[in-house]
Amino acid sequence: MKLNIYTGLIIGFMTITANAGDIKQGQTKSAICAGCHGANGIGLSSEYPNLAGQKKGYLVKQLKDFKQGKRTDPTMAAMVLALNNQDIDNLAAYYSSLKAIPMVIKKQQTVTQKASTNEFPETTFITMKKSATLETFPQEITWQGGENMLYNAITPDAKLVLATSPSKNSVYIFNAKTGSILAVVKVGKAPKGVKVSPDGKVAYISNQGSNNISVVDLINYKVVNTIKTGKGPHNARFTQDGKRAYVTLQGGEGIGVIDTQLQKMIKIIPVAGITGPHNLDLSKDEKIAFVRDFVHHVAVLDLQTGQVKKVLMVGNGHGGIDVTPDGRYAATAAIGDNFISVIDTQSYAVTNIIVGNGPHGIRASKDSRWLYVTITKENQVAVIDMQTMKVVKKISVGKFPFWIAVQGNF
């Protein structure tokens, strides 16, 4: 009897110890959460709850509910996929140990300047998530849009600008010259990325909440087809001939390959070594995909073999990625950090450039000379001279600048 009691006490103690969670290991694992919930557990915007100071039991329950499907969210589904029970305990222990005090963000002292045609040789459009607007550059004109403006794109003939509103399950279509709204088209649930086909006839809207892509006719402004995808489609990229489109499946499956003539996803390419494929762009010869994940990685994916050639460490959190039109660099942002990473597409060497707190959208000029970055926490747009790899201007804009569309860089 004594042996049974003693054994029971040891088992009970081991169970309590195992469930206690390791704060240091939780801090290490928390890199996967920083993209939305901040490096110190303070949400990067109002849509992301603060985790710092939450009760451990509450955090454990929420994570397990997401993992078991009792709570559903495309982004969280990808995040919890690789977590075991010990990881969950460790994360909960870490976040519950933090003080629930928002971080004070110190802005860089770069002098804010006006945009000019020198740095903006082509018309450039930037969405403002919290302001529900678009701003044009170099004119610095503000257009009123829809609630929660996110991703945007411009048609090849530069006549239309599109922007998604996940709050309205819609894509807004603007006259690119006047800023007037020509149509508001209902699409699927929680639309994120928008990309226009090379011929300018249709746009693909990635509906992360309904696991499909809406094909929008840009002549009649209506949905003409819906393409089923894997879990959590986030953004797409057409090939130059328009025959294929690659879509990031943030639910974790990899990259979906769409036959645009069949308007059907024909296969999924797994992307090993990253968590939640978020955004992507293609090398100039379109043989390589540079895939940005939701944590702090870029995968170099060989599209011919389906093999990951290399996984590169970049800044924390999610962000955009853009291969410069000359094919020389792939630049990616990191909303959970204060720098962007510029990747040499031949050597895969990474150069980090401090730009300000919360960089997310990123796009190069048509001639590849300039790189534009949205600084979400400072409400600015940084302009980088790619010849010197230095920030030369920071321009004040609306609230939460999110994404960038540049005429001539698709």
* Domain ranges within the chain, ordered by starting residue: 2-97, 124-406
Q: What does pLDDT average to over the chain?
A: 89
- What CA–CA distance (Å, rounded) separates 332 from 295? 12
Mean pLDDT, to the nearest integer, of 349-359? 97
Per DSSP, 103 falls in state P
Q: Supply 61's token pair.
A: 């329950």
Q: So what CATH class is 2-97?
A: mainly alpha
β-partners of residue 396 are: 380
Instruction: Specify the pLDDT at position 110.
Output: 47
Q: Which helix (H) or strand (E) holds 97?
A: helix 85-97
Which superfamily, per CATH, for 124-406?
Answer: YVTN repeat-like/Quinoprotein amine dehydrogenase (2.130.10.10)
- What CA–CA distance (Å, rounded) separates 215 from 206? 9
Q: Supply 17's token pair.
A: 């110890």
The pTM of the full predicted model, rounded to 2 decimals, is 0.85
Instruction: Specify the pLDDT at position 45.
Output: 59
What stretches of 42-84 show up as alpha helix (H) in DSSP? 56-68, 74-80
Assess whether pLDDT exceeds 90 at residue 26: no
Over residues 274-316, the pLDDT tens digits come to 989 999 999 999 999 999 998 899 999 999 999 999 999 999 9
Mean pLDDT, to the nearest integer, of 137-157? 96
- What CA–CA distance (Å, rounded) separates 97 from 402? 31
Contact 171, 217 (CB under 8 A): no
Instruction: Specify the pLDDT at position 200.
Output: 97
Q: What angle do CA 200, 201, 206 make, to 5 degrees?
A: 90
